[in-house]
Chains A and B, each alone.
Chain A
Amino acid sequence: MAALLRSARLLKCLPSGLCLWPYAGLRHYAVIPEQKGPAKDESSLGVRSKQAQQFDWALAKLDSSVRRTGRVTKTLLMRIFHDICRTGYPSGNQALLLLRSCGSLLPEVPMAERSELARHIWDKLKELGASYDASHYNALVKVFLQNEFKFSPNEFLAKMEAAGVQPNRVTYQRLIAAYCNAGDIEGASTILGFMKSKDLPITEAVFNSLVTGHARADDMESAVSILSVMKGAGIEPGPDTYVALLNAYAERGDMEKIRQTLETAGSTDISLMDRDLMQVVFSLAKAGYHQHVPSIVDLMRHERGYVPDAMNLCLSLITQGHEDTAFSVLKTFPTLQQENESGDSNNLGNFFLRHCVNMNKPVEKLARYCQELQDSNCHAAPLQFTLYCCLEAKNTATALELMKIMKEQGQPIRPHFFWPLLMQHVKDRNTVGVMEVMKGMQELGVPADVETLSNYILPAFPNVAVARDTFKVVCFCVHVTFLADKENVTFWEHLAGLEENQLELSLSAPQSHPPTHSHGPGVTFYVLVSISVSLLSTEGVSYFLYNLIDSMSEAEVQAQEEKLRQYFNQLKSMNIVIPVNIYRGIRNLLDSYHVPELIKVSSDSPSTRKLAELKAEGKPVGPTLKQLILSLCSEEKLDAALELKSQHAADMATGGYAALIHLCCRHNNVDEALKLKGELSHKDPSVSLDSTKSIALVKALVKHDRMEEAVDLLKEMKEKDVSVVDTAVTLLFHTLNAAALKGDVAAVRQLQATVFTLGLTKPTANLCSPLITAHLQTKDLSGALDAAMECQKQYGHLPRIHDVICGLVENGDTELLQKAMDFVSQERGEMTMLYNLFFAFMQTGRHREARKIIETPGLRARAGRLQWYAEKCVAANQMESLESLVEMTAKLFECDRDEMYHYLLRLCKNTNDWRKAEATWTKMQEENVIPRERTLRLLADILRSNGQEVPFEVIVKCSSYVSCSCLVCACRSLFHSSLCSEAYSELKNMDRKGEALGPSPYSALIRALLAEGNMEDALEVQKIATTHIPHFKLNDIANSLLIITQAKKNLTKDALATLKSMLQADQVPSKLSITRLVQSLGSHGDIAGIQDVEALMKGLGNPLNLSPMMFVNNTAIARIKNGDLDSAVEGLEAIYTSAGEGSQPASMAFVFRKVLEEKNITALDKLSAMAERLANHFASYGPASDLFIQLMDAGMKEEAKFMLARCSAVAEQREALVSYMSRLSRTPGQLCFLALSLLLILSFSFSLNFFDWVCLTVLARSTALDNDLASAKALYQQMQSEGVEADELCLKRLAKLYKSAGESVPFTEPPVSVSLHMPFKFQAHNIHM
């Protein structure tokens, strides 16, 4: 056995143990790029994550990031933190997860910042109503310890007690560690005193801390002596003890002692993992003994999981300013040997370079690392990657330096390298930043091309003129001179191109989808029913019925109950009988829909009397006889059935025989069964029994040791080509197992061989296992092993190997065990072998040996195997075994700890052992496990059912059916208003009964009510929620809806107040809510209110992208409302006149529309005078065209005409008019003529050109949409008379119209394939629409 263990420990030398390596490595590298630059400011992060609304996803991501890589990124953490803040109700374990993540899980963040973050999160969550228990306090201490944060343990204890939270063993342990880290042995002793007075056990962890404590107090002698004290107390020093000692020596740079200690540890069978050695490396580096690092790094065994751990070490070292040490660690990373087939080059060290950039390491160092990485063939293009990171981090200075180095090396530098830098400045409108980058470009000799200028430089300036001036000031001439000279043309052309693009966009604005008509189930139902009855056969109807009910939702079925009943009755009256199996299916469906009343497709059981009648009448009795036999069989009346059979032997059909045979088998009457079978085949030799019945017969035969006949029967099945169904396979297994339990090896073997060689079914592990069972039954372990090996060789299955190995371990048969292990590892790999051995040791209670196995370096968690064993323990009530399993797997790589503890708690629940459950909880804290909610719930359940106080907060789970349905209704109520009010009344009922829900159903219901505009009820729900949940707050969606509702109900003051409180709570209102609020303020004439909102919106970290015109327009409306027309006009005019050329302010159509709607003639006169003034004197045509279009829209054609006459420039506002036209053309019907008249107005004012041509196309399209041939004809005539050439598409449409009206086409129809090649781009777009 010892030899076995040794071979296991040498696993890492075996090639197969290594083969998984590079993949693991690769995957972890792949994880890195998810971090994106330095953390952005909190508010913008918040907005982004809010948009994502993927909270659960993020939480799972954080969790899995921790489990897999041992770290999280700050970005991810902050994002989740903000999500939690926004949803507003942090649960206990969310808080725990966040707090725990603020320590060494953030290797990329400096320690001080980490502690600060932890405090911030702690305070913020507390403010949001998170309730903290001991586990949170323990997590906080742990984070402080990890961050080497100095704090007073005594004060901490006092605070904890003041908060009414009892410190537990883990708290004390960690506080001792805190004292010890500061070298304060006296402080540690006081805490030890507390522990003793409370009779808490002193664990290894305490001693380990004391080792550190004495060492830090500069008393190495005492530190070493702790080990003997431990032994004296009956605690063996574990790996952590040695790590503490090693760290102590490392802090002194004492390599000699380190070596000695490592030897001692080795000789006492303590195995130090790579992870442990990494701590030593970290201590050495921190204490400034860089030179000793390589000799420790050399000792590492590169276990599985080495790469993520080593990456974390490197990241921590870089963060702490030891990047050179980190680089020496990086160089020891196993290089990825094989390049992948596409020839992609290596990129080892991406994470390293990125973090160096993020930590602002000097360029010289970066360049050196890059050079070395490239020289050692680890990375193909390290400089380019580093530059990429710089650009991503918007680190202009370093990026420019790096580009200089790249240029020196002859690598190309291109204009688009600067875009990421410029992008940020453009967003911030930071012209100084832009200039800085441009200067850098000039120095690098990279000309800014047109694209860079127009997309990434000019937009930063308010207008071209300012840009030109700025460039001139800095004498930026070489490449930008063309702004002023002849190349200007190109540039302007480009700008013009941009405008065209915008035009294109406005035309391709998404077309409104036709409203989807959701066919009510009723409609579909009737149609289908009539079809089914008229068209389908009996069976068809049955299947149809099944599918129909299956496809209907529960609610639908309930709603359609009456109709279904009618349908059933109709079917019945039509004498349609539904086959039994389909009937069962339907019954099950209806059952699950809670409409049992519908199950009344009654099948009248025929009676013997009826049979006799039929016989007397000389009618065929076959079907009735069969039904009768079936019903007798189902009642297990064998004799009666047999008698009936003998009475009507002549009329018996196959079905009846089959049922009878089956019944005989069940009653163990083999002879009768065989006789019946004989009769049957005599009657019809071609008929065969189905697989279930055949196997049942086989089973009966085997039971009576009639092997020959059984085998023959199996052969017959094959001959008759009976397909074996799943239930038959199960039955077959039972047959085999029954034989096996009798220990009849020969029989099992014979049957198995027959079944598999005949190919009746595929060999499965389950079907193979009876053979081993048979051997085990006779205590023939050697035979069992051989049989298992044979199965593996023949069928690729290794059944019951666990039991075989257990038996061998139990008997201490080393030789056979070795054989078994060799075989398993050869066939299934080392890992499987180790797990098999591990479980065998566990099973037989040899925990010491089991521990050795599970600690084998390189072993990783196999969730499936662990679950299998844990479930076994839970089922068999083996607490001790399960406990040691959980404890032993603590350090197992990738082991899901919460899952493991959950098994333990489940067993505690089964045994109702609350003390064990509580101890488990303490252990979880000690191990820093974040429990999932279900684990906490289970724990709380155990404690509560034993009358214990639950020392933590548990998420309220909707346990009652009512509350669940309430939640569901609330969510659905967005679509069914009746359900919404139902949910509301349900909720009120519950409230009356004193039942409370979790915050989310309340929140959902409030949102739903608000979405309906039902503010009173919503506020009522909020009140109810607040009584149950003191910190209940509306989330941003609900608040936005509230604002909209309030604005609609003219409660503008309230709406404004809501907005203010929202912003105070760091919530983000929706765009719509702001728009509605401002409009409402405008129509109330509340100018101050509008200004208020505008100021508030400007203060928002991330603007909502509101149009500034919205405020301007509504201010104007407000002034008009207040009768202050002059200042309204003044304000608007100022906006239009102050705007520079090129940047036209957006439309003021809204103002015109409002004024027109209210028929405020005075205001209209003033405003139109203003618009004309602006157009005629200031060349600002926006307002005039807005007015024109509004007039058209309002149907005031005459006024529009006059306006056009006074202000002809309007007709040249292509963009505005074309987009108006295209909008019109998409609204079928009434507006077509309006558009036609517009065209007429326009056509006299200037010659037909390309623009009119567009209009015509648009128009032709709109007539085609309406199928309005008359107008189309008129249009075509007009086009001809005006000499406009209609294009192919136009003609095509016209032709279609003619054809569909049954008229002949008066022109040559263009060929079928209409080319999309159009002379102008935006027409092509138009067609695509």
Chain B
Amino acid sequence: MATSAKKIFELFVSKVPWTLSSKEMKEYFGQFGQVKKCLLPFDKETGFHRGFCWIGYTSEEGLQNALQKYPHTLEGATLQVQRNRKVFVGQKTNKEVPEES
């Protein structure tokens, strides 16, 4: 039923300033490749996001492009960007923007 086994090309971004929302993150990281997924969890108690974010690219290329740039400065703040190591499970704050390509 499924066409091919899909690999995930994900970044883990931390130190995201509170002023940015997933829209801005997606726009910014979109310059390196097509962003399939942008997950910036918000805390339902406080209304602020938690300061970290996952960016999923459709291809390895986008991921590599993003990793090669240093530093990632967005609106005066330096984001910490690394390849996502842990698979993220059990997301309760559903801020997912899934987009089928």
Enumerate chain A interface residues (CB-CB to B < 8 A): 342-345, 380-381, 384, 388, 391-392, 412, 414-417, 419-424, 451, 456, 501, 508, 1287-1288, 1313, 1315-1319, 1328
Contact = CB atoms under 8 A, between A and B. Distances in A.
Contact of B47 (A414, A419, A1315): A419
Contacts of B89: 1328
B21 interface: yes
Given A388-B48, A1317-B3, 16 more contacts: A342-B78, A343-B73, A384-B17, A414-B19, A414-B24, A419-B47, A420-B48, A456-B47, A501-B94, A508-B90, A1315-B2, A1315-B3, A1315-B4, A1315-B5, A1317-B6, A1318-B1
Contacts of A424: 47
A1313 B4 CA distance: 10
B42 interface: yes
9 contacts: A343-B78, A388-B18, A414-B19, A419-B42, A420-B46, A423-B44, A423-B47, A508-B90, A1317-B2
B46 A344 contact: no
A381 B76 contact: yes
B1 to A, nearest CB: 5
B100 to A, nearest CB: 10
Contacts of A391: 47-48
B49 interface: yes
Contacts of A508: 90
B80 A342 contact: yes
Interface of B: 1-6, 17-19, 21, 23-24, 42, 44-49, 71, 73, 76-78, 80, 89-90, 94-95
A419 B46 CA distance: 8
A1315 B1 CA distance: 8
B48 A344 contact: no
Given A419-B48, A423-B47, A1288 B21 contact: no
Nearest to B40: A416
Nearest to A456: B47
A342 B80 CA distance: 9
Given A342-B71, A384-B19, A420-B47, A1319 B1 contact: yes
Contacts, number: 70
Contacts of A419: 42, 47-48
Nearest to B73: A343
Contacts of A416: 21, 42, 49
Contacts of A1328: 89
A314 to B, nearest CB: 24
A1288 B1 contact: yes
Contacts of A412: 19
B93 to A, nearest CB: 9
A1055 to B, nearest CB: 33
Given A343-B73, A380-B76, A1315 B48 contact: no
Contacts of B18: 384, 388
Nearest to A419: B47
A388 B95 CA distance: 21
Nearest to B71: A343
A954 to B, nearest CB: 41
Contacts of A417: 19
A77 B62 CA distance: 50
A1328 B2 CA distance: 16
Contacts of B19: 384, 412, 414, 417
A534 B18 CA distance: 65
A789 to B, nearest CB: 47
A1288 B1 CA distance: 7
Nearest to A416: B21
Contacts of A415: 21
A421 B1 CA distance: 46
A456 B47 CA distance: 9
B89 to A, nearest CB: 8
A447 to B, nearest CB: 12
A424 B71 CA distance: 36
A503 to B, nearest CB: 12
Nearest to B3: A1317
A1315 B21 contact: no
Nearest first, the 10 A-B pairs at minimum CB distance are: A1315-B2, A420-B47, A423-B47, A1317-B2, A419-B47, A416-B21, A342-B78, A343-B78, A1313-B5, A1287-B1
A690 B98 CA distance: 69
Contacts of B78: 342-344
A1035 to B, nearest CB: 26
Nearest to A387: B19
A1100 B71 CA distance: 51
Contacts of A1318: 1-2
Contact of B2 (A342, A414, A1288): A1288
Contacts of B44: 423
Contacts of A423: 44-47
Contacts of B73: 343
Contacts of B45: 423
B46 A392 contact: yes
Nearest to B80: A342
Contacts of B42: 416, 419
**From B73, B76, B95, residue with most partner A Cβ within 10 Å:** B76
A412 B94 CA distance: 25
B12 to A, nearest CB: 16
A392 B47 CA distance: 9
Nearest to B49: A416
Given A388-B18, A1315-B5, A1317-B3, A421 B76 contact: no
A379 to B, nearest CB: 11
A342 B24 CA distance: 21
A426 to B, nearest CB: 9
Contacts of B5: 1313, 1315
A424 B43 CA distance: 12
Contacts of A343: 71, 73, 78
Nearest to B18: A388
Contacts of B95: 451
A1317 B8 CA distance: 12
A200 to B, nearest CB: 54
**From A388, A420, A508, A1318, residue with most partner B Cβ within 10 Å:** A420
A344 B2 CA distance: 45
Contacts of A381: 17, 76-77
A345 B76 CA distance: 8
A1237 B19 CA distance: 55
Contacts of A388: 18, 48
Contacts of B48: 388, 391-392, 419-420
A1288 B17 CA distance: 44
**From A343, A422, A501, residue with most partner B Cβ within 10 Å:** A343
A496 to B, nearest CB: 14
A131 to B, nearest CB: 39
B97 to A, nearest CB: 10
A343 B76 CA distance: 10
Contact of A422 (B3, B17, B23, B47): B47
**From B89, B90, B94, residue with most partner A Cβ within 10 Å:** B94
A343 B80 CA distance: 11
Contacts of B6: 1315-1317
A451 B47 CA distance: 12
A1319 B73 CA distance: 38
A508 B42 CA distance: 21
B81 to A, nearest CB: 11
A342 B73 CA distance: 10
A407 to B, nearest CB: 13
A388 B47 CA distance: 11
A1316 B19 CA distance: 35
Contacts of B4: 1315
A415 B21 CA distance: 9
Contacts of A456: 47
A404 to B, nearest CB: 16
A343 B4 CA distance: 42
Contacts of A1288: 1-2
A543 B73 CA distance: 59
A258 to B, nearest CB: 43
